[in-house]
């Protein structure tokens, strides 16, 4: 599940309602940097539907067979994410939907 604030949550969906509110069990927040990832355990998590951008199913067998991502310790992935953010900080990001800027 991808949220509006950019976080990626992975868990077992236990319930949802007509407003697309979700209850996730055994939830963790996944951080990815390059070909490595790390997970922060969150436990039982309730998400308001208005914050959900994308929802999908993860096939663990396919993920393992593809072998594209390798799990690392949380400290390492947080350092890699911080390093990547600092490197990308100098790049100019143009908001295509902001019509007030000049192209």
| Higher pLDDT, residue 18 or 66 | 18
Residue 27 structural domain:
2-89
pLDDT at 103 over 80: no
Based on the structure, what is the number of domains in the chain? 1
User: Residue 101 has which token pair?
Assistant: 């800027």
All residues at 6 or more sequence positions from 39 whose CB lies less than 8 Å from its CB, including other chains: 10, 28, 29, 30, 31, 71, 74
**Res. 26 pLDDT band, cuts 50 70 90:** very high
103 domain residue, yes or no: no
37 domain residue, yes or no: yes
98 domain residue, yes or no: no
80 domain residue, yes or no: yes
pLDDT at 85 over 90: no
CA distances for 42 relative to 27, 29, 45, angstroms? 5, 7, 7
pLDDT in tens, 34-71: 888 889 999 999 999 999 999 999 887 777 677 778 88
99 domain residue, yes or no: no
Give dist(CA 26, CA 42) in Å, integer.
Answer: 7
63 domain residue, yes or no: yes
95 domain residue, yes or no: no
């Amino acid at each position: 599940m991808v949220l509006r604030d950019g976080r990626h949550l992975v868990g077992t969906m236990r319930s949802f309602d007509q407003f697309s509110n979700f209850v996730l069990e055994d939830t963790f927040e996944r951080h990815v940097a390059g070909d490595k990832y790390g997970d922060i355990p969150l436990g039982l998590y309730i998400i308001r539907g208005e914050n959900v951008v994308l929802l999908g199913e993860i096939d663990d067998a396919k993920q393992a067979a593809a072998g594209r991502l390798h799990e690392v310790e949380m400290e390492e992935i947080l350092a890699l994410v911080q390093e990547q953010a600092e490197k990308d900080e100098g790049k100019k990001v143009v908001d295509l939907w902001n019509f007030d800027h000049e192209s």
